[in-house]
Amino acid sequence: MRRRVISICLPYLAAEHHLRLDGQTGLSDPYAVIEHSKGTQRLAGVNAQASAKGLSAGMGLTDARAICPDLRTAMLRPQRLQGFVCALARWAERFSPLTGLDEADALVIDATGCAHLFGGEEAMLAAIISELAGLGLTARAAIADAKGAAWALAQFSVGGIAPEGRLRSAIADLPVAALRIDAETVERLGQVGLTTIEPLTRMPRGALARRFGIECMRRLDQALGAEPEPISPNRSAPRFSVRMTLAEPVGLVSDVMAGLERLLERLCQKLELHQHGARTLRLTVRRVDGADQCAEISLARPGRDPMRLRDLFERKVSEIQSGFGIDALRLEAVVTEVLKPAQMTQAHRATAEQKLTDLISLIGNRVGFENVTRAVPAESHIPERAFLTAPAAYSASADWSAQGHAHPRIRPISMMAPQPVNVLTEALFASQRPPASFQVLGSSYQLSSASGAERLAPEWWWDDPDWRSGPRDYWQVETREGPRFWLFHTPAAQRPGWFLHGTFS
């Protein structure tokens, strides 16, 4: 079966879309939409009446009004226009499952094997143009064996049907600009008398490529069907939402939760189908008086387990004011992330992680996820910089024992700014060993045992005032009174001394 492609040109799309928004479809006056460009106002699109007056997109507004004083204008709404174009691509799927956007003002449809469903190619093109006219849009459509040829016929002629296997003759009389090449190449081709496609096809390919570039030859091959050109479907992201209309209004929390359970089952099946997990869900209930009430939850990790989601919603649903009754429910996954199926061999590990995730989700929905934090390791050997505080919902748990050390370094359970230690009795045999007795934080202690030393040097790329005394020798000190301290000595300082940096449990 020979491939057949339809290209649909919408020459006045921007202006006609704005007329649809304003309810002025069928306006007979010259009309244009304008945008700010390079410090001035320019036409972004015109309707057929303005085009007949000689106006076109890109023209300055002042020049356009000089040519057409009765021109009616409005500001362009680019986001609304982009959404409308995507909606048109979805609309075109009624003619073929493979549709996409070709250019800013063109749609493309792979019609291979579809024409007989509409009574033939001619009837299919007529149906497309007729339905677009019903939407208030002017359209030209063409069908050919190649995407490039169909685009050329739709943009630079009245459209129509190119017979199968006769692409060369169908586009021979069209200008070279129909090959979708840049304006500079079109001008250079015109300087040597190549203004239409037909003489271009008879030129030696090597000389043509050397003089006008490989891109010119590639576009010519695509228009003649010698080089395949795929159609990229304009698939919009799936919307994860479900709804339920109730036969009778309800007002009890148990009734709303029963409806929510059904919605969660359907929503989670859809999430699983697309291998997504929800991070934020919103339940909207419609009251009989027309007012809406919302309950929103968030998750520490993407999930799609209906029972876990139900438990998080229970408290939120109890706060909903049902008024005279609720007659409709709508559940939407507002924020989703990719969630691949879990391996069965890691079920025990997944259970432990899921319990922690459930706890973070439960607390985060009450106090805010930014207030539930965890310590994560950082690339630094300085104790104060060896960790960062991050929201638990947006950071992964880390194995502190696997931070590049065969044996993890022991650190105190609490740390403080270095506190000076008053030495009461020096060590017996070494001046740089912890003192036999000392006073710190207003209390006196006797040394029982000590282990060390662990030398830590300041990081030269940080100018930390607390570390300007140079390297430190850290010791784990146990006292006869019971407390265990983390002391350090500054041997390289001008006035060496002992300091307390932390306490152990």
pLDDT for 402 beyond 70? no
Q: How far is CA 271 from CA 235, 297, 306, 362, in A?
A: 17, 17, 11, 21
Average pLDDT, the chain: 86
Share of the chain above pLDDT 70, in %: 93
Q: What is the pLDDT of residues 412-431, one digit of tens each?
A: 888 888 888 988 888 766 66
pLDDT for 103 beyond 70? no
pLDDT for 348 beyond 50? no
Average pLDDT of 217-243?
85
Which candidate, 348, 332, 103, places its Cα nearest to that of 240? 332
Predicted confidence band of residue 406 (pLDDT cuts 50, 70, 90): very low
How high is the pLDDT of residue 39? 79
pLDDT for 347 beyond 50? no
Predicted confidence band of residue 497 (pLDDT cuts 50, 70, 90): confident
Q: What is the pLDDT of residues 355-400, one digit of tens each?
A: 778 788 888 888 887 788 887 777 777 887 777 788 887 777 765 5
pLDDT for 38 beyond 80? no
How high is the pLDDT of residue 330? 94
Asked if 145 contacts 165 with a C-beta cutoff of 8 angstroms, the reply is yes
φ and ψ at residue 10, rounded to 5 degrees = -120, 80
Of the two residues 354 and 19, the one the predictor is more confident about is 19
How high is the pLDDT of residue 425? 83
Weakest-pLDDT range from 1-5, 217-221, 233-237, 404-408: 404-408
Residues 311 and 316: their CA atoms lie apart, in Å, by 10
First-to-last alpha carbon distance for the chain, in angstroms, is 79
* Matching fold, domains 1-236 and 241-338: no
The pair of three-digit structure tokens given for residue 453, joined into one six-digit string: 């030393």
Residues 304 and 315: their CA atoms lie apart, in Å, by 19
148 contact partners, CB below 8 Å, separation of at least 6? 179, 180, 219, 222, 223, 224, 225, 229
* 292 three-state secondary structure: strand
Q: Which CATH class is domain 1-236?
A: alpha beta
Most confident listed range (117-126, 197-206, 298-307, 415-424): 117-126
Please list, residue by residue across 252-264, b when 16 or more beta carbons sit within 10 angstroms of its beta carbon and e when fewer do: eeebbeebbeebb
pLDDT for 333 beyond 90? yes
The count of other CB atoms within 10 Å of the CB of residue 456 is: 16
CATH fit for domain 241-338, picks 3.90.650.10, 3.40.50.300, 3.30.1490.100, 3.20.20.70? 3.30.1490.100
Most confident listed range (265-269, 402-406, 490-494): 265-269
Q: What are the sequence ranges of the domains in the chain? A: 1-236, 241-338, 372-409, 414-503
How high is the pLDDT of residue 121? 92
Predicted confidence band of residue 110 (pLDDT cuts 50, 70, 90): very high
pLDDT for 264 beyond 90? yes
110 contact partners, CB below 8 Å, separation of at least 6? 3, 4, 5, 96, 98, 99, 231
pLDDT for 485 beyond 90? yes
The count of other CB atoms within 10 Å of the CB of residue 365 is: 19
The pair of three-digit structure tokens given for residue 294, joined into one six-digit string: 């919302």
Of the two residues 393 and 311, the one the predictor is more confident about is 311
pTM of the entire predicted model: 0.57
pLDDT for 22 beyond 70? yes
Predicted confidence band of residue 463 (pLDDT cuts 50, 70, 90): confident
φ and ψ at residue 75, rounded to 5 degrees = -75, 140
